[in-house]
Amino acid sequence: MTFKTTMAELRVIAFGHVGLLESYFDGSVDVDGNLALAFRAAMDARFDRNANKLVAIRNRWHEFRFSNKSIAQAKANARFHYALGERFYKLWLDRVGMMYTCAYWKEGTKTLEEAQVNKMDHVCRKVELKRGETFLDVGCGFGGLLFHAWEHYGALGTGINTTTEQVHELNEEIARRKLTDKIRVVDCDFREMPGQYDKLLSIGTLEHAGPDRLPQVVRAHADALKPGGLGVIHFIGHVGDFATEFYIRKHIFPGGWIPSLSQAIDWMERCGLEVLDVENLRRHYALTLDVWAERFDANWEAIHALDPARFDERFRRTWRTYLWSCAEMFRSKHSRTHLFQVTVSKGNVPADGYPMSRAFLYRQP
């Protein structure tokens, strides 16, 4: 590690690991060698990322400035990250559904593509998705789950997404596949979710609620389900009450906030959702991020060529840090940041309303 300026050294003194990372982003610190191993060592050392009081102040200011309280700010926050363009994400996400969420690496899985198909099947099975049923895909991204659910389960999907560019691209693809009577996508915030549905799949959206909006987000999920409807809420969650990593909020996901599992389940119960099952996929996310980071590095020249001004050296350093550090965070035995899938029903299920064991998830179709 090479410090090029005195200011970089002062940043580390003032802001700890955040100062070091920001100095690396702007090029005033260089790191030679394997970045992933550096993050692994930091996780093994169990450094306290919440100890720096100046960073805590910056984190509180960020929440005040970029809160998702208004729909307009929530949309701007989402665009900061998700409006980087389909061509950018296509270079390093899976080539089946372009899923930008944790995959499911069951035994024998060899590729990211297989793992993402596994994930889509896993959540569809959890809600017992059936032909002709309606379901809501909250934060539908590039639409991989919507297409998969129609093609393999015959379910009629509605997706919501706050990134206008993604909505336009997805609606064009739906029209190209002649599926406009089977799948629709709406440009709206979770607070504007249309209608009620038999099933709900919310994959990676709870993290965008914000500390004061968690009750509102969970309530919106509950309201979108018909009585007796089933849902899966898949989200990054803390084990315990911890601040969300500031550099991620500032440089990657403005307005992002990671709830604890207990906070999320508390509000699910308050909103009339029965928790049927909780599965922890922390280790699966480490494997997913490994592949994303490797593909990002391998395809950097192609990414840079898309837009040299946007995808510059600072962007490369920031995103390499994001992908590799998150991989090591989820891998670490000391991690307090996990990935949960919570299966819920709207109201208590009757005695014969849901399988009594998980065996149905693993039967061959």
Quick check: is 326 catalytic? yes
pTM above 0.85, yes or no: yes
Please indicate, yes or no, if residue 287 is contained in any of the structural domains.
no
**C-alpha to C-alpha distance for 346 and 218, rounded to whole angstroms:** 12
CA 59 from centroid of its chain's CA atoms:
20
Lookup: tokens for 363: 């039967």
CATH number at residue 87: 3.40.50.150
Handedness of CA 161, 163, 169, 172 (dihedral sign): positive
Please indicate, yes or no, if residue 212 is contained in any of the structural domains.
yes
Amino acid letter, residue 207 = E
Angle at which helices 282-298 and 313-331 cross, to 10°:
150
The active-site residue out of 102, 124, 271, 326 is 326
Instruction: Give, for all 365 residues of the chain, the pLDDT tens digit.
Output: 888 999 989 999 999 889 999 999 999 999 888 888 888 888 887 666 666 889 889 988 888 888 887 888 888 888 888 889 999 999 999 999 999 999 999 999 999 999 999 999 999 999 999 999 999 999 999 999 999 999 999 999 999 999 998 999 999 999 999 999 999 999 998 788 879 999 999 999 999 888 888 999 999 999 999 999 999 999 999 998 888 899 999 999 998 899 999 999 999 999 999 999 999 999 999 999 999 999 999 999 999 999 999 999 999 999 999 999 999 999 999 999 999 999 999 999 999 999 999 999 998 76
| Cα first-last separation, the chain | 52
Expressed as residue numbers, the domain containing 164 is 71-282+332-361
Lookup: tokens for 224: 């979108």
Please indicate, yes or no, if residue 352 is contained in any of the structural domains.
yes
Please indicate, yes or no, if residue 317 is contained in any of the structural domains.
no
CA distance readout (Å), 69 to 87, 192, 326 = 30, 13, 26
Please indicate, yes or no, if residue 56 is contained in any of the structural domains.
no
Question: How many domains does the chain contain in total?
Answer: 1
Please indicate, yes or no, if residue 355 is contained in any of the structural domains.
yes
Please indicate, yes or no, if residue 5 is contained in any of the structural domains.
no
Please indicate, yes or no, if residue 38 is contained in any of the structural domains.
no
